Chain A
């Protein structure tokens, strides 16, 4: 589904990302871990064509993302709060995203109603603008908005940060279900090794912009990761 080839990104001579080749098959739940500055967000930004690669390219379903925009209909993402429109209510925001992705109000309502317990009654019908919600609730709204319109690729940058424990567990179930039942390719990054190993079938460790580990999940994965980061 996602092919990365000879990809590198330099900022004023500093190499921040350098991936020779990375192949993510369709329906895989893919986890990206690494310390601050390892290049996780840079990789996602390149995937979403928000920044330009210095060399190489990413192909999303055979569409080269910085050449054509045809990857947009089947790709969705929530990177940070700047993906939210502060002066809309969560409902309005969902409808807006829905309209951009060709969904009518009923479709959006049907989808959002599945996430009632994920929202914990704090998002829908609150008569509040997104900018007035707490960080955690903003995140919930952003994540659910990324699920609107049956995307085939979902990119979530640190989805577990800022969420309360209950919501973290619910989010894990949502992500698992997406990749298992609906064959959606989910890419997440996280600092929480436990969550990532729990959710993802495959985990890639970035260090200073390079892939240093590429693990298919097994019983030993968590321990291996912990050892890696302890050193």
Chain B
């Protein structure tokens, strides 16, 4: 049976319409994994000698044990965001003679084979071997290593449980942040010293190997709990049923101020607010807005004014980049309707343009407090905002006419690469690097002010020729109309 399941997944992967794209991402992920493996391997090899050098009079094993708590927290948080839970289309299997328990065991077993569970081994095994070479007792070290492996698996299933509880909710990342943050805070402010409890726990297991049954017991409990949870969901009216949400309608009358593009503006705003995928791009706004805080407080960046523009383009243009790069794929689900309706392509595109331009303005205004770190930053952000409105909006709309990937709006959001093609990655380069390069060139050749002026001039030129540019872009969309309809009609 496992063989059949595996062959199903094999076919699902290789026969998917977006196979080429996902292969590219897989290769990229492969390189990333190799990088992490190298990092962990290095850590495993150097940990013992390193700790010995820094703390000559302490046992490195004890130090490592006392830090395990932080590792567990970090692992839990990272997994929540990056580990993809194994999915399987179970609906067709329900009526076939396959035991439900078997399906659940398969899914859970598959999750245990995740890369995230193997990664720590690359650190644990070399460290353990070093311990053995330093004449630590063999059986105790082996049991200690086993205990760590068990902990890795416990985290794996714990994450599964947390995800299955929070996945349906809005802001699904909140519980995990609260749990991890709460535990960390309790520990940090010495209310409950988790790191010591955890550390002494592992010391005890090391000293009394039979206590390995404790993590083993916890693991079994997690597994059984998971099993029950998933088993319940394998019915059409529980887990497999799509959730129906009540509508909260707002009439958005104020969009009437935008004239003939009002219906499309309303549609776009509803699109953004009512779909998970797009809604998450609204949360991305906060990240973009606060992005500057990573850099500006550090004195190193204060002396790199050419870098301000990068932050400026990014933080005023995050919505533009995020939303813009999937025009018109956001509307792919009902593209045929739009194409047979009585609409002008130009109005449709103009609505998107207006939305992006307004977002740049709002983000610029919200970013004004950055003036606290120097007026040059504000000037650079202003230039970047003008450039975004005048140049980047048009560039991204033009890029959209090459868009051939359907987006299924109901899919979950973060790290969902659906609808991304090579063009979308390419478009990021001119959007961010071009203004930055332009700015840097004039900054080093002439001065900061002139460099800002150059960006502003480019932006103003774009705004002045807006009508003309839109005509050209509209023409491009019209030319690829049939190709888009055909592409958006295909499911994965």
Contact = CB atoms under 8 A, between A and B. Distances in A.
B341 A82 contact: no
B122 to A, nearest CB: 45
A82 B339 CA distance: 12
A87 B249 contact: no
B260 to A, nearest CB: 10
22 contacts: A50-B339, A79-B336, A82-B337, A83-B334, A84-B337, A86-B409, A87-B275, A87-B409, A88-B270, A89-B249, A92-B249, A92-B270, A96-B263, A96-B266, A99-B262, A99-B263, A100-B263, A101-B341, A127-B246, A127-B247, A129-B245, A129-B247
Contacts of A77: 340
B246 A97 contact: no
Q: Which secondary structure dominates chain A's binding surface?
A: loop
Given A129-B274, A131-B410, A72 B342 contact: yes
B334 A82 contact: yes
Interface string A145-159: 000010000000000
A132 B340 contact: no
Interface residues of B, number: 30
B87 interface: no
B340 A72 contact: yes
Contacts of A76: 340
Interface of A: 48-52, 72-73, 75-77, 79, 82-89, 92, 96-97, 99-102, 127-129, 131-132, 149
Contacts of A88: 267, 270
B489 interface: yes
Contacts of B244: 128, 132
Contacts of B342: 72-73, 100-102, 149
Interface string B351-386: 000000000000000000000000000000000000
Nearest to A131: B410
Q: Which 5 A-B pairs have the closest CB atoms?
A: A87-B274, A99-B263, A83-B337, A72-B342, A48-B340
A16 to B, nearest CB: 14
Nearest to A73: B342
A82 B336 contact: yes
Given A51-B485, A127-B246, A129-B247, A85 B340 contact: no
A96 B261 CA distance: 12
Contact of A86 (B245, B333, B336, B341): B333
A47 to B, nearest CB: 9
Interface string B254-273: 00000000110011001100
Interface string B195-232: 00000000000000000000000000000000000000
B245 A132 contact: yes
B336 A83 contact: yes
Given A50-B485, A72-B341, 20 more contacts: A50-B339, A51-B482, A51-B485, A75-B340, A76-B340, A79-B336, A82-B336, A83-B334, A83-B336, A83-B340, A85-B334, A86-B410, A87-B271, A88-B270, A89-B247, A100-B341, A128-B244, A129-B245, A131-B410, A132-B245
Contacts of A73: 342
Contacts of B334: 82-86
A50 B270 contact: no
Given A51-B486, A87-B275, A132-B244, A96 B340 contact: no
B282 to A, nearest CB: 15
Nearest to A86: B333
A62 B242 CA distance: 46
B485 A100 contact: no
Contact of A82 (B246, B486, B489): B489
Nearest to B260: A99
B446 interface: no
